[in-house]
Amino acid sequence: MSEGWTTRDATALLVLADGTVIEGDGLGAAGEALGEVCFNTALTGYQEILTDPSYARQIVTFTFPHIGNVGANEEDVEDLTPANSVGAVGAIFRAEVSAPSNYRSTGDLDAWLKARGVVALSGIDTRALTALIREKGMPNAVIAHSPDGKFDVDALKKRAAEWSGLVGLDLAKDAASAETEVWTEGPWAWNAGYAANKAPAYTIVAIDYGAKRNILRLMSGQGARVVIVPATASAEEVLKHDPDGIFLSNGPGDPAATGEYAVPVIRELARSGVPMFGICLGHQLLALALGGRTQKMHQGHHGANHPVKDFTTGKVEIVSMNHGFAVAADSLPEGVEETHVSLFDGTNCGLRVKDQPVFSVQHHPEASPGPQDSHYLFQRFFDMIDAHRAKKAA
């Protein structure tokens, strides 16, 4: 075992690509999962985090020690296709998961993880693992859970070491909807659940690269009928719905790989004049389509407490983030300006095209989980749509 990690009768292992073996107590699904290890600093919303499609092929280390004490329910799931369990492949917790204690709970976290096929472990020093990631970057790893405590450690080390990682990997096709569908569910209301949008005034076409439900809910809450199309949809397929606006969703993987088929479509759509809004992977793909470039981050941004400055208002907001790639701000061409920046490390968090109704942000303004400081971005999108409608009518 690697120096510094506690040795015990382990029922779960985290095996890093450099050969480090970390022992813990297994929970969730039995078996193995291969992925990139990151850490998330959010204090709440573990279900939303684990079901965010942007976490596909990642193993999430929660820095908050008490995870699972509010149980699990089906309302807090974020991926559009829960039957396919799109989201994080593994989870790492500091403390043992306690019995649920929340009026919304319909079950415990362990059973929920099993049902989704997520391999998890608890009982390790997550502070030390977080420090390792901050120092050396996000490692490739295998997380393994065996109730009898028997592992082929050499095979796990080999598997972790041989995986090429997320660079060059297109995961959007796997995370996206397979067919066109219409989304009508609105935002959640206290003790009322999710109300349907019964009288939509707009049509938004959302290109699904791994969209989150709450993004679609907030657009529905603005009065939109949201038509979801697959990641591989053509510009013709998007425009045939006569959209008032086009949305480029979040999603997992390397934007440069997804961009092989997405970028030509986005370029054509940008020329259509229809207002366009991108989030997360959608932001990165838009930047590529406009002539920018993306790059892999050292430790990424994962959490619900990230400070971002909006240059268009001069305000600082606290936002939710989940990304391991970023747009290189110095690569944005003339006519495209940076609108948001991370106050943690200065990386790009937003852009807009001058004189066109096209903009995007890196963070997750739908706040699921996270603060609601950035909800105004949805209103900004619909203000652009109203202005575009008025211009067409004039």
- 262: CATH: 3.40.50.880
Total domains present in the chain: 2
Is the pLDDT at 391 greater than 80, yes or no?
yes
| Residues 352 and 262 both lie in one domain | yes
In percent, the amount of the chain with pLDDT more than 90 equals: 91
Average pLDDT over residues 198-214: 95
Domain assignment present for residue 53? The answer is yes
Is the pLDDT at 37 greater than 90, yes or no?
yes
Domain assignment present for residue 75? The answer is yes
Domain assignment present for residue 104? The answer is yes
Domain assignment present for residue 335? The answer is yes
Is the pLDDT at 199 greater than 90, yes or no?
no
Q: Residue 25 belongs to a domain with what CATH number?
A: 3.50.30.20
Name which of 2-16, 274-288, 291-305 the model is least confident about: 2-16
Record the pTM.
Answer: 0.96
Q: Which of 127, 162, 197 is the last residue of a domain?
A: 162
Containing structural domain, residue 231:
172-393
Catalytic residues, by residue number, are 280, 364, 366
Is the pLDDT at 298 greater than 50, yes or no?
yes
Average pLDDT over residues 3-20: 80
pLDDT in tens, 144-159: 999 999 999 999 999 9
Q: What are the strands, taking DSSP E only, across the chain?
A: 12-16, 21-28, 31-40, 58-62, 90-92, 119-122, 140-145, 181-183, 185-189, 193-196, 202-208, 224-230, 245-248, 276-279, 294-310, 315-327, 336-342, 348-353, 358-361
Domain assignment present for residue 2? The answer is no
Residue 18, judged by CB atoms within 10 A of its CB (0-12, 13-18, 19+), counts as: middle
| Residues 189 and 150 both lie in one domain | no
Average pLDDT over residues 219-247: 97
| Residues 113 and 186 both lie in one domain | no
| Residues 156 and 199 both lie in one domain | no
| Residues 122 and 197 both lie in one domain | no
pLDDT in tens, 311-359: 999 999 999 999 999 999 999 999 999 999 999 999 999 999 999 999 9
| Residues 200 and 156 both lie in one domain | no
d(CA 119, CA 238): 37
Domain assignment present for residue 5? The answer is no
Angle (nearest 5°) at CA 80 between 375 and 85: 125
| Residues 145 and 179 both lie in one domain | no
pLDDT in tens, 87-104: 999 999 999 998 999 999
pLDDT in tens, 254-293: 999 999 999 999 999 999 999 999 999 999 999 999 999 9
What band does 200 get if pLDDT is binned at 50, 70 and 90?
very high
Q: Which of 129, 162, 195 is the last residue of a domain?
A: 162
Greater confidence, 192 or 214?
A: 214
d(CA 35, CA 15): 11
Predicted local confidence at residue 369, as pLDDT: 94
Predicted local confidence at residue 188, as pLDDT: 87
| Residues 210 and 92 both lie in one domain | no
Predicted local confidence at residue 8, as pLDDT: 63
| Residues 152 and 199 both lie in one domain | no
Predicted local confidence at residue 83, as pLDDT: 59
Predicted local confidence at residue 6, as pLDDT: 46
Q: Which of 148, 90, 152 is CA-nearest to residue 122?
A: 90
Average pLDDT over residues 182-203: 88
Domain assignment present for residue 181? The answer is yes
Average pLDDT over residues 361-372: 95
Is the pLDDT at 75 greater than 80, yes or no?
yes
Domain assignment present for residue 6? The answer is no
Predicted local confidence at residue 4, as pLDDT: 41
Is the pLDDT at 46 greater than 90, yes or no?
yes
Predicted local confidence at residue 82, as pLDDT: 60
Please give the mean pLDDT across all residues of the chain: 95
